[in-house]
Amino acid sequence: MKRTKSLLLSLLLLLLLLVSGCSDSATAQNENNSDNINPPTITSELTLDDDGKNASEKYQNVANAQEEQGSITDSAEQKQPSELSQNTFSLADVPAYNGKAYVAINNNEPFFSQADYTTQSFERYSSLDSLGRCGVAFANVGKDIMPTEDRGDISSVTPSGWKNKNYGDLIDGGYLYNRCHLLGFQLTGENANEKNLITGTRYLNIEGMLPFENMVADYIKETDNHVLYRVTPIFEGSNLLASGVLMEGHSVEDEGEGISFCVYCYNVQPNIILDYATGESYAEGASEEAKDETSSNTNQPVAAAPTPESTPTPEPEPTTPAGTPVETPTQTADYILNTNTHKFHYPDCSSVKSMKESNKEYFTGSREEIINRGYDPCGRCNP
């Protein structure tokens, strides 16, 4: 009997050892298999970043993106700003400068995607590249991010290609270059932000970009709407001086009825020849010695900007692209009514110049008559 019990205990012990060995083997096998599983990695390559004003709009980091993979949201925190690709815009599509400061691109239709549109204000700026050059500046401009204080000093910023010269009477103000805001100060209140300042000619700043900045600012002040607004500096190769900027704008709440444009503004200066590789320049007709000194720094040819025959403002065509500044036809009127915003203006108000012709009503009569029709006075010209 004792022998039988001993034999049974021995068999039981053997079974226990066998079970334990199988378990260890299975565990080891599972551990070996886990080494062959590579969990998916989500990377986030952001070329645009926030300016720090709106902390709630910071992009999620990679760890958060992994945790929230697959979720879809309309919030500003999750929305990735769109950028221009080589498939949508190419400098080869831009005609040679012919005396006008800007030209319509893509039939004057901006390249925004549907995902870009929001009624939340934001502003985002690209980090400088390895050559110290600015990239895309992107904003949804609303009254809440427009400046409430006077513009500050920006002289501490030295943008790429900054080789400034004083050409006296050849240029209004003398100096060739301005520190050009990509997102104009009157729109976002940015001062010495190196991510928002490029080297631009006086001509680019005043004749090219400013009319559109004024148009957008006036529209927002009058309507309290938002304008999706993007400015992309265009650099060829490793040039330090931008060839120009692509400007896009589209009013959000009225779906582009008030503002809609897509233009390329030329970074040129009449009577001055620019070396875009370095930012150096010289006046037309300068000595060969001066030309050789400038040209020796680049293998690319430099070209002079032809002198415009008249003010470089696009001439009205039979069908005027929405939101593009045009010259107002001469008509006699006491006031100009904006039938879209229901504001009325003096005929010489700056807002009238940027108003769509289809929204204008030339009115002769008293101020009281207009108010009785439900119109409000413009806050800019105070008629």
Residue 5: the pLDDT is 59
Q: How many domains does the chain have?
A: 2
Over pLDDT 70: what percentage of the chain? 66
- Neighbour-count burial of 214, counting CB atoms closer than 10 A to its CB (0-12 exposed, 13-18 middle, 19+ buried): middle
Between 19-33, 152-166, 173-187, the lowest mean confidence (pLDDT) is in 19-33
Residue 32 lies in a domain: no
Distance CA 301, CA 282 (A): 14
Of 304, 326, 351, which marks where a domain is finished?
A: 304
Residue 322 lies in a domain: no
pLDDT digits (tens, 9 = 90+) for 7-25: 666 676 666 666 555 444 4
Q: Does 285 lie in the same domain as 360? A: no
Phi, psi of 231 (to 5 degrees): -125, 125
Mean pLDDT (whole number) for 226-240: 97
Q: Does 244 lie in the same domain as 205? A: yes
Domain that holds residue 361: 335-377
Name the residue type at position 318: P
Q: Does 351 lie in the same domain as 263? A: no
Residue 316 lies in a domain: no
> Are 264 and 103 within 8 A, CB to CB?
yes
Please, what sign has the CA dihedral across residues 171, 176, 181, 186?
negative
Give the 3-state secondary structure of residue 365. Answer: coil
Residue 165 lies in a domain: yes
Q: Does 358 lie in the same domain as 238? A: no
Q: Does 339 lie in the same domain as 300? A: no
Structure tokens at 142: 């609303």
* CA 320 to the chain's CA centroid: 24
> Are 359 and 322 within 8 A, CB to CB?
no
Confidence of residue 247 (pLDDT cuts 50, 70, 90): very high
Q: Does 173 lie in the same domain as 274? A: yes
Name the residue type at position 105: I
Residue 374: the pLDDT is 77
Q: Does 141 lie in the same domain as 246? A: yes
Give the 3-state secondary structure of residue 187. Answer: helix
- Between CA 291 and CA 215, with CA 264 as vertex, the angle to 5 degrees is 120
Higher pLDDT, 101 or 87: 101
Mean pLDDT (whole number) for 286-309: 48
Residue 330 lies in a domain: no
Q: Does 344 lie in the same domain as 218? A: no
Residue 229 lies in a domain: yes
Give the 3-state secondary structure of residue 325. Answer: coil
Phi, psi of 222 (to 5 degrees): -80, -35
Residue 274: the pLDDT is 97
For the cut 60, the answer to whether the pLDDT of residue 6 exceeds it is yes
Q: DSSP for 122-186, please give it.
A: EEEEEPP-TTS----EEEEE-GGGS-SS-----TT---TT----B-GGGSTTSBSEEEEESS-HH
Residue 357 lies in a domain: yes
Q: Comparing C-alpha atoms, which of 155, 152, 149 is closest to residue 178?
A: 155
CATH number at residue 238: 3.40.570.10
- Map tokens 């400034």 to a residue: 164
Q: Does 254 lie in the same domain as 131? A: yes
Residue 2: the pLDDT is 53
Confidence of residue 300 (pLDDT cuts 50, 70, 90): very low
| Residues 6 or more apart in contact with residue 353 via CB below 8 angstroms | 325, 326, 327, 328
Q: Does 183 lie in the same domain as 114? A: yes
Q: Does 367 lie in the same domain as 297? A: no
Distance CA 48, CA 195 (A): 10
> Are 200 and 161 within 8 A, CB to CB?
no
Q: DSSP for 40-95, please give it.
A: -------SEEE-SS-GGGPPP-HHHHHHTTT----STTTPPPP---TTT--GGGSP
Distance CA 265, CA 255 (A): 24
Q: Does 235 lie in the same domain as 90? A: yes
Residue 89 lies in a domain: yes
Residue 22: the pLDDT is 47
Q: Comparing C-alpha atoms, which of 258, 186, 219 is closest to residue 378?
A: 219
